[in-house]
Structure 1
Amino acid sequence: MNSNTLTALLFGIDANRAAALTSAFHKLGYICRHTSVDEMGRMGSAIRDDKPDLVLFDEQGSAIELSHCLDAIASQQLDLPVIVLSDSESLMPDHQVADVLPPDRIERISRSCLREFWALYTRRNLKATEQELKAAETRSEQILSQSEEAIAYVSDGMIISSNRLFAEFCGFADPDDLDFQPIVDLIAEQDQDRLKVALRSISDGESSRVSVTVCRQDGEEAETGMKLAPSVVDGEQCVQITLRDEAGETSGSSVGAIDHTTGFASAMRFVQQLEDVTAHGLGGGGDGAFMLVSLDRYLELRNEVGIGGCGQIAADIAELLMSHFPKASYGRIDGDLFGIILNNISADDALKQAKKICKEAAGRVVTVDKLSINYTLSIGILPITKTKLAAAVDLLDNLVSVCEQIREETGDNGMGNGAALYVRARQQLDQKNDPMTLFEDARADNRLQLLFQPVVSLADEDRHYYEVTLSLKDQEADEISGEQLLRALESQGKSTELDRWIIVEATKQLTRSKQGGKPVSLIINLTCNVFRDRNLPSWLGVALKAAQLSPATLVLQFETTATTRMLKPAIAFSEQMRKLGAAVALKSDSAGGDDLQVIRQLNPLLTKLGASPKDSETLKEAITNLQEVGSKTVIQGVDSAATLATLWQLKPDYVQGSYVQAPSTELDYDFGDE
Structure 2
Amino acid sequence: MSVLIVTPELSLAEKVRALFLRQNSPLSGKSHEAIEGYETSLVALQKQESYEVIIIVSDNYTEELADFIDHVERQKKGPILMMTDSDDVRVRARSRKLRFILPRTSVDQDVFVSVLDALKEYHQLGQSVHQLEEVYRLSEQRFKDVADHFADWLWEVDKGMRVVFSSSRRRSMENVEHGTAFSKCFLPEEESRLLDNFSQLYKEPKPFQDEEYWSFDAYGSRQCWSLSGVPIFDKKGFIIGYRGVAKDISNEKASVDHLYFLSNNDALTGFYNRNRFVEELGRVSRSHIREGLDGAVLVLNLDRFKFVNDTYGYEVGDKLIVHAGQIIKSMVRSEDFVARVGADEFAIIMPNTTVESAEKIGKDYLRAISARDFTFGSGFIRCTARIGGVSLGLYGSTSDELLSRAHTALAEAKNRGSNTLCMYDSLELRQGDIAKRMELLNFVSNCLDQEQERVILYYQPIVSLNNVEKVEHYEVLVRLLDQNNDIVSPVKFIEIAEEYGLIAKLDRIVACRALDMLERWQEQGKDISLSINISGKTFADKDVIERITQHLSTKNLKQGSAIFELTETSALKDITRARRVIAGLKEHGALLALDDCGVGYSSLDYIRQLDLDFIKIDGSFIRDLHRNKEDEAFVRALRDVARKLQIQTVAEMVEDSETVGFLKRIGIDFAQGYHFAMPAAELPEEFDEIRKKALN
* TM-score, normalising length: structure 1: 0.32
* TM-score, normalising length: structure 2: 0.31
Q: Give 1 or 2: higher helix fraction.
A: 2
